[in-house]
Amino acid sequence: MPAPHLDPGTTTSYGPLAGGRLRVLTWNLWWQFGPWEERLPAIVETVRRLDPDIACLQEVWIEPGADGPDGHGGDSSARRIGDALGFEHRGTHRLVLDEVGFGNAVVSRWPITGGESLPLPGLDDAEELRTCFRADIDSPHGPLQVFSTHLNWRFDQSAIRQEQVRAICAFIAGSPPRSYPPVLAGDFNALPDSDEVRMLTGRAAVPEPKLVFHDAWEAAGDGGPGHTWSNSNPFALLDLEPNRRIDYVFAGWPKGGGRGQVLDCEVVGTEPVDGIVGSDHYGVIATLRI
């Protein structure tokens, strides 16, 4: 359930509570699969209605020459979303399908001042060329670091996902010092009780000392299953897989003033726009204290 209400300034173990709000969306956009040209307007309109401050996107399509860490270049789904909202965007990719990139991106209401991409470990016989992308954001509340990632998808590949999580945690721990907790979001292709997710939430040995996250849905969802891969989605239904919660917003342990506390979390993108849902995944949007 949403976090209990406390007025800004209330004295807590973290000091007087900060009163700002940060809305972070994560959504796997399903690249150029299916009827993507019809889906894209639904994606853009859904994001517009949600009005996030920051969106972490996966399976972003990236035309040749577009969206390196400098954010410049040609067309991409992240650029389309950013242009529609008047937001900045940056992204990266390693995988190319039919000459079109397949990667991760961050779209932000506020200036993106830098970015770095981490190639994730893979398997020689099933290399998916996964990455984690960090965006450095200059918000009016201070600098933010947001990480967008997408892990290997197969059910039998928990071991490589655990290696990927270890690499991501080392990447976060080695990033420049920050005053706001890191936000890690994306498609983890893993259930909440999986070893790879438990490593992030402190239910298993953490890969990096003192680096632990709150799962936004667990902290402040509506108490339901929170499925983001759901047979209620007509695109997901065709893959004959069970309902699962595999997309997450993770917020680092709160800092002074409770900054980083998860206040609310919703599963989104569930409703069609002009008769079509935006993706085979549903998204997740979390509201954090800032």
Report the chain's mean pLDDT, rounded to a whole number. 96
Please write the tens of the pLDDT for every residue from 19-39.
Answer: 999 999 999 999 999 999 999
Q: How crowded is residue 212: how many other Cβ atoms within 10 Å of its Cβ?
A: 16
The pLDDT of residue 65: 66
Residue 3 in any domain: the answer is: no
Q: How many domains does the chain have?
A: 1
Residue 187 in any domain: the answer is: yes
Q: pTM for this structure?
A: 0.96
Which range of residues forms the domain containing residue 174?
23-289
Helices (H) and strands (E) counted in the chain, each on its own, are 6, 14
Share of the chain above pLDDT 70, in %: 97
Residue 152 in any domain: the answer is: yes
99-123 mean pLDDT: 97
Distance of CA 73 to the CA centre of its chain: 23
The pLDDT of residue 73: 61
Please write the tens of the pLDDT for every residue from 51-97.
Answer: 999 999 999 999 986 545 445 467 999 999 999 999 999 999 999 99
- Please indicate whether residue 126 or residue 22 has the higher confidence score (pLDDT): 22
Residue 47 in any domain: the answer is: yes
For residue 192, the domain's CATH number is 3.60.10.10
Please write the tens of the pLDDT for every residue from 160-194.
Answer: 999 999 999 999 999 998 999 999 999 999 999 99
pLDDT beyond 70 at 15: yes
Are 278 and 43 within 8 A, CB to CB? yes
pLDDT beyond 90 at 280: yes
The pLDDT of residue 69: 47
H-type helices in 115-184, by residue range? 158-173
Residue 14 in any domain: the answer is: no
Please write the tens of the pLDDT for every residue from 218-236.
Answer: 999 999 999 999 999 999 9
Tell me the chain's radius of gyration from C-alpha atoms. 18
Residue 128 in any domain: the answer is: yes
Measured in degrees and rounded to the nearest 5, phi and psi for residue 248 equal -140, 150
Q: Give CA separation, 243 vs 104, 158, 223, 247, 283, in Å.
A: 24, 18, 16, 12, 14
Residue 5 in any domain: the answer is: no
Residue 192 in any domain: the answer is: yes
